[in-house]
């Protein structure tokens, strides 16, 4: 399965390309939603209009001792692998059109 997303050789159909892109972008979206929900999970059910910054409860990450740099690292890593896998899928589609996969980088 990893070979499908990260191998630059071969060919794929339009359906495989579309399903692969949906899977890639869907997983990235799910990661971003999970991070957003975990970051604000302790605010659920509270009236945030009357809260001052000093009254704000810690986020789940702060409560668990997770540094924001670690979260940023995870997001950057996920975006890197998303871009790499989209390049691989697009390269395979270019192979189907009889073109070199290098055209993906130029487009």
Under 8 Å between Cβ of 42 and 57: yes
Whole-number Å distance between alpha carbons of 98 and 20: 21
Range from 65-74, 75-84, 87-96 carrying the lowest mean pLDDT: 65-74
Higher confidence at residue 17 or residue 60? 17
pLDDT in tens, 36-79: 776 665 555 555 566 565 555 566 666 666 766 777 788 889 88
> Confidence band (pLDDT; 50, 70, 90) for 8?
confident
Q: What percent of the chain has pLDDT over 90?
A: 9
Residue 86: is it exposed, middle or buried by C-beta count within 10 angstroms (0-12/13-18/19+)? Answer: middle
Place of tokens 């997001």: 75
Global pTM?
Answer: 0.68
């Amino acid at each position: 399965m990893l070979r499908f997303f990260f191998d630059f050789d071969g060919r794929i159909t339009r359906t495989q390309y579309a399903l692969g892109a949906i899977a890639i972008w869907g997983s990235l979206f799910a990661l971003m939603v999970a991070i957003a929900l975990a970051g604000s999970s302790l605010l659920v059910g509270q009236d945030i209009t009357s809260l001052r910054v000093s009254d704000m409860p810690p986020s789940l990450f702060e409560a668990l001792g997770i540094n924001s740099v670690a979260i940023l690292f995870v997001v950057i890593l996920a975006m890197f692998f998303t871009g790499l896998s989209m390049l691989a899928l697009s390269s395979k589609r270019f192979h189907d059109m009889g073109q070199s996969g290098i055209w993906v980088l130029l487009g």
